[in-house]
């Protein structure tokens, strides 16, 4: 049995709104009791949560430091300037905008700043691991700009840089985007930069998934090659849910004007404070060791799954993410994901390249190691997780087996405390 202990940070929520309190505590219990393998999720520190939930939530501060449209901004000006400087230093860039509410509007801001309506955006196709905001048709980015897509190789499922170069030469896009939500290998940012330059295009690196790995030195850095870099601030960076745009100084004014006043109003200074705390944490040796362990864990988990007959897209991983093709297991991704969730192992069903199934019921499963690594799990724990996953996929219709595994997972998770949680 797990038991709730006193949580001073939610005492007023409990008193004022018991229903919301119970839902928050239920989610907290769920995050403690489960093995969270969704690669875009993580655990923030208690310090990040405290900053995000601070009195800065009361503040309205349209504009930028020194150029606000409200009085009483002396403290938030100092705060936002500090966070900008931390971002610039950590990522080695000339300018940082820390106001975007999330990754999607941040990408939109980059396009607004650098493109004209109808210009071509060239990005990885969504079914091949790309993101909606890289020009896909159902996104605003595919409606207001012209989409040009590159795909992974049909056999290796790797990015074919020669093919990317050929498409860029033929289509002459205004911007080329590197980045994805389901690509388990390294990005050759130097080659992307060279291709973009040769095509007369801007180069945007969307590092939302891998920014923490870049900081840790276990993934190539796009800063020397990209005109703009966008990253969310959660995922491997372990901050609150927000975003940053990092860019060359020559694009700073256009990007700032695109974020505000073009696309947003007042920034969420409480979130910016949480980002600032996360950036300070990311500048430590402990964080670099964390990033190395994320990759080590992913490689071991991938190898163990392969040993158990799982087909992995690209054959493995170089980063935090593993994409599994469940066709050979004769289980669709959605069914496997739901069975795993019942067993206390949380991933997400996902399309695979050239998937014959529809996106809402695809062939694949996407998992990753940021959250479990934050809890202190290492290689041996990855082997145990792979064994459980294999057992779940083999017994997707056996509720008793899934419930038994869930109990084992809860016992297992007690040995790896989740940061900042007030349940045991």
- The string of pLDDT tens digits covering residues 181-208 is 999 999 999 999 999 999 999 999 999 9
Task: Quickly tell me which residue has 């493995």 as its tokens.
Answer: 316
Architecture of domain 286-413: Alpha-Beta Complex (3.90)
What pLDDT was estimated at residue 9? 79
Burial of 232 (0-12, 13-18, 19+ CB in 10 A): buried
Same fold, 51-282 and 286-413: no
Q: Where do the domains of the chain lie?
A: 51-282, 286-413
- 369 with 320: CB under 8 angstroms? yes
**Residue from 295, 368, 354, 296 nearest 325 by CA:** 354
Q: pLDDT tens for residues 136-160? A: 988 999 999 999 999 999 999 999 9
* pLDDT of 277 strictly over 60: yes
What pLDDT was estimated at residue 1? 41
Tell me how far apart the alpha carbons of residues 97 and 99 are, in angstroms, rounded to a whole number. 6
Q: Which two tokens stand for residue 212?
A: 């923490």
Element of type H or E holding 231? strand 228-232
CA atoms within 13 A on the CB side of 376: 8
Confidence class of residue 422 from pLDDT cuts 50, 70 and 90?
Answer: confident
Confidence class of residue 423 from pLDDT cuts 50, 70 and 90?
Answer: confident
Q: pLDDT tens for residues 67-117? A: 999 999 999 999 999 999 999 999 999 999 999 999 999 999 999 999 999
Q: pLDDT exceeding 70 applies to what percent of the chain?
A: 98
Q: Which two tokens stand for residue 367?
A: 């998992």
Confidence class of residue 424 from pLDDT cuts 50, 70 and 90?
Answer: low
Residues marked as catalytic: 60, 62, 206, 232, 235, 241
Query: Fold for domain 51-282?
Result: 3.40.640
């Amino acid at each position: 049995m797990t038991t709730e202990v006193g949580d001073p940070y939610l005492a007023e929520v409990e008193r004022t709104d018991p229903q919301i309190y119970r839902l928050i505590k239920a989610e907290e219990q769920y995050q403690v009791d489960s093995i969270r393998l969704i690669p875009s999720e993580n655990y923030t520190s208690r310090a990040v949560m405290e900053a995000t939930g601070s009195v800065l939530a009361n503040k309205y501060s349209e504009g930028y430091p020194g150029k606000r449209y409200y009085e009483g901004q002396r403290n938030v000006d100092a705060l936002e300037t500090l966070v900008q400087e931390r971002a610039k230093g950590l990522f080695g860039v000339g300018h940082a905008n820390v106001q975007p509410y999330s990754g999607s509007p941040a990408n939109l801001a980059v396009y607004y700043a650098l493109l004209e309506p109808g210009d071509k955006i060239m990005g990885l196709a969504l079914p091949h691991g790309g993101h909606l905001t890289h020009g896909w048709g159902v996104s605003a980015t595919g409606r207001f700009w012209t989409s040009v897509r590159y795909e992974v190789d049909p056999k290796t499922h790797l990015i074919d840089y020669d093919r990317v170069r050929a498409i860029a030469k033929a289509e002459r896009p205004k911007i080329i985007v590197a980045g994805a939500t389901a690509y388990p290998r390294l990005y050759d940012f130097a080659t992307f930069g060279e291709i973009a330059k040769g095509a007369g295009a801007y180069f945007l690196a969307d590092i939302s998934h891998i920014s923490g790995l870049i900081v840790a030195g276990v993934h190539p850095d796009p800063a020397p090659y990209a005109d703009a870099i966008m990253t969310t601030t959660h995922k491997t960076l372990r901050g609150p849910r927000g975003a940053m745009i990092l860019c060359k100084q020559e694009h700073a004014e256009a990007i700032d004007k695109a974020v505000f006043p073009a696309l947003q109003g007042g920034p969420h200074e409480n979130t910016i404070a949480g980002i600032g705390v996360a950036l300070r944490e990311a500048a430590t040796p402990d964080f670099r060791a964390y990033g190395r362990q994320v990759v080590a864990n992913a490689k071991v988990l991938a190898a163990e799954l392969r040993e158990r007959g799982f087909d992995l897209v690209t054959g493995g991983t170089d980063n935090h993410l593993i994409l599994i093709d469940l066709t050979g297991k004769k289980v669709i991704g959605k069914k496997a994901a739901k069975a795993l969730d019942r067993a206390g192992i949380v991933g997400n069903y996902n399309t695979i390249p050239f998937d014959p199934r529809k996106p809402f019921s695809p062939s694949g499963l996407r998992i990753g190691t940021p959250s479990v690594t934050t809890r202190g799990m290492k290689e041996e724990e990855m082997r145990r997780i792979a064994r459980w996953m294999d057992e779940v996929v083999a017994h997707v219709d056996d509720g008793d087996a899934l419930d038994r595994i869930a109990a084992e997972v809860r016992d297992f998770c007690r040995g790896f405390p989740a940061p900042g949680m007030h349940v045991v």
